[in-house]
Amino acid sequence: MTASPSQSPWVKVYQARDKLVEQFLSHPEVSLIDIGYEPDLAAGSVVLQIHLRRPEAEKLLSLPKTVDGIPVRVIIADYRIE
């Protein structure tokens, strides 16, 4: 899988992201869900990333390790308009 969002294998990634969004984005501790990559994984592999406002929030949510085979990573970050 390449790192360009316009190509067809990304359809599966978008569907997995949408599942995560539907299930978790409404939680007040979740600030962002996006699609990224990790240098440790094989070249071209992508991961789903769920951003939590506080580290403690991870215990409150039963986050899956993968969605449709795509790994899910947790990032602690809150975002504000600039």
- 38: three-class secondary structure by DSSP: coil
Tell the smallest beta-carbon distance from residue 25 to other proteins (Å): 6
Q: Which of 19, 23, 32, 72: binder of other proteins (CB under 8 A)?
A: 32
Structure tokens belonging to residue 30 = 């979740």
Which C-beta is closer to other proteins: that of 34 or that of 68? 34
Using the rule CB under 8 A, is 16 a contact of other proteins?
A: no
Structure tokens belonging to residue 72 = 């899910």
CA angle (27 as vertex; 22, 28 as ends), nearest 5: 145
Using the rule CB under 8 A, is 68 a contact of other proteins?
A: no
| Cβ(33)–Cβ(50) below 8 Å | yes
Chain residues in the site for other proteins (CB under 8 A): 3-6, 14, 17, 21, 25, 30-37, 46, 49, 75, 77-82
